[in-house]
Amino acid sequence: MRSLNRIAVAGIVICLFAGVTMGQEGESEGTTTRTMRPVVRGRHFAVASMKAEATRAAERILEKGGNAFDAIVAGQAVLGIVDAAMNGVGSDAVLLVYDAKTKKVYSINAEGTAPRLATIEWYKEHNGGKLPVNDSLLSGTVPGDVDAWYVLLDRWGTMSFAQVLAEAIDLAENGFPVGDSLSRAIAGGAQKLRKYPTSAKVYLPNNRAPQPGEIFRNPDLARTLKRLVEAEKLNAGKGRHAALKAARDRFYTGDIAREMAKFSEDNGGLFRYEDFANYTAKVEEPVSIDYRGYQIYKNPSASQGPAELFALKMLEGYDLKAMGLNSADYIHTSVEAIKLAFADREKYLGDMDFIKIPYAGLLSKEYAAERRQLIDQTTASLAFRPGTAEKFTSDTTPLDRPVKVTYAGDGDHDGDTSYIAVVDGARNMITFTPSLHSAFGTGVVMGDLGFIFNCRGDYYKLEPGEANSLAPGKRPRSTLQSTLVMKDGQPHMVLGTPGADQQVLLTMQTLLNMIEFGMNVQQAIEAPKWLTRAFPASPFPHTMYPGDLSVESRIPEAVRKQLLARGHKLRVTGAWSDGALAAIVVDLKTGVLNAGADPRVEAYAWAW
């Protein structure tokens, strides 16, 4: 009851400040002390996610004595129900973890893999040489979400699946009031969902999208989650590890896997039982750089996240603070660095089980200096310019890796994902980015299981030899990423956002707002943002729009004119249109937790 009271009070506070401004500490250049929402502060723990219900579920687990790893599983399980268009049991995911016991940062790669029947030749022979975008099982990859849950609970957690999935099961079985964004997403995706009877059954009851405030239920999903708990309980006598693994295995090697495989084969998909049985999420060493005394960590494999590190290494050579926040010089320099970093994303980043990524060169000061020389301070580049990072490694043999760029079609750089972060009393930190990739992923509810697969398979390239070319069992280079920051050996912050290709741009700007311009976490989230599509889109057909740049209308007109004069093809978006960020920052002097959430969306932060 105490937990419920806290959430209720917090809800009132957040609602009061959602449409008005309030004073905050930490006035900095280019900002005022006023924000649309308050920084939420606490001493014991903090949660920030895309939905209030998910934040509440994680908070409840922490109140019951669970740690951050228990809490984030509970929170994301609920997030997959109340933010069902964007993530769920069928999601892929990437995570960064700081383990307070070992004082070490880990990467968890829960990206999905391509079915063993999925080959470049198959798509050329059967699908006209095209990948279906955001639709059908032919755009899917194996879900990694459940295995991520298992890794978190088994390696670092303290609770059972029964405990952490209880609230998700309750919401799926007994229902919850539909939020505005979920109602809009179902209505917007109705045409896609109606193509598949199993999907229409779940998401279009009474042949229409549920309205905001209506009670929505997914009893099929509740039964699927209960099956995991049932397997755990049946194996409880064998010990906690065996019980957790039994729940995980029921999904990937048991009857759930067989049902997914049969449904796929019966409905034209390429997934077979072996694809699920052979899947495993991976715990990996992250990649990192030092940026002005801050250690910035990213997932190393099958993620675009390291491209932010490439850009930061270039930007480190400039006095960004002297340029001024969101000045023409600042935006132009940042955009030009991103173009170069994302050209290297296309050439170098992918699944490290299949390709070599020369991080020693990509993250070196020497390579950053060489790339920095390509930035013209007066003119926007319209070119696609990957570098030769391998010459700054011990093996200077050039990587013979083609990169095909297309300027035709309509490659979508914007997209949908979800996000949750947790920091607990021991200062374990987790940043968790789960996704269906686009609204409702493949669009296909898997039989009577109540969930949809992600459609990340439309990210592959169908050009042999490219870093992200399709191969059976390979993980696509995903746009999923987030950021974990250490300072002076201490856990300092976690932050992330939905946004497909734009995720790196948004987290980088938010990070720099804090490091370079001294903003607090909420100011950094709310500050005006810019975006660009001047690099190949991740989804097929991977279209690049040279010179493209968009800014929120809060960027002054004088700055916009200067950017136009430098050759940027400028678009102006709504004042609060670009971003869906959430973050938690640990004040290293006081130990106080500072949580922030983006007023552009239904994100919700809480701390105690």
Integer angstrom CA distances of residue 179 from 51, 81, 330, 491: 9, 11, 37, 34
**Which residue is catalytic, options 31, 113, 141, 417?**
417
Q: Give me the residue label for tokens 């960590």.
A: 297
The token pair that represents 66 in the structure block: 């669970």
Task: Name every residue whose Cβ is closer than 8 Å to that of residue 128 and which is 6 or more positions away in sequence.
Answer: none
The length of the chain in residues reads 608
Letter string b/e over residues 120-155, b meaning 16 or more CB atoms within 10 A of that residue's CB: beebeeeeeeebbbbbbbbbbbbbbbbbbbbbbbee
CA distance 403 to 420: 34
- Torsion (CA) 27, 30, 34, 38 in degrees, nearest 10: -80
Cis peptide leading into residue 286 (ω within 30°):
no
How many helical (H) and strand (E) elements, i.e. helices and strands, does the chain have?
22, 21
CB 112 within 8 A of CB 475: yes
DSSP H/E element including 550: strand 548-552
Task: Name every residue whose Cβ is closer than 8 Å to that of residue 24 and which is 6 or more positions away in sequence.
Answer: 33, 34, 35, 38, 39, 520, 522, 523
What are the φ and ψ backbone dihedral angles of 195, each rounded to 5 degrees? -65, -20
Task: Name every residue whose Cβ is closer than 8 Å to that of residue 319 and which is 6 or more positions away in sequence.
Answer: none
DSSP H/E element including 329: helix 328-348
CB 98 within 8 A of CB 490: no
Sign of the Cα pseudo-torsion (262, 265, 269, 271, in order): positive
CA distance 219 to 190: 20
Give the residues across from 433 on adjacent strands.
Answer: 94
For helices 219-234 and 255-266, the axis angle rounded to 10 degrees is 140
CA distance 296 to 382: 29
The token pair that represents 280 in the structure block: 């495993």
Annotation says 393 is catalytic: no
Residues assigned a catalytic role: 417
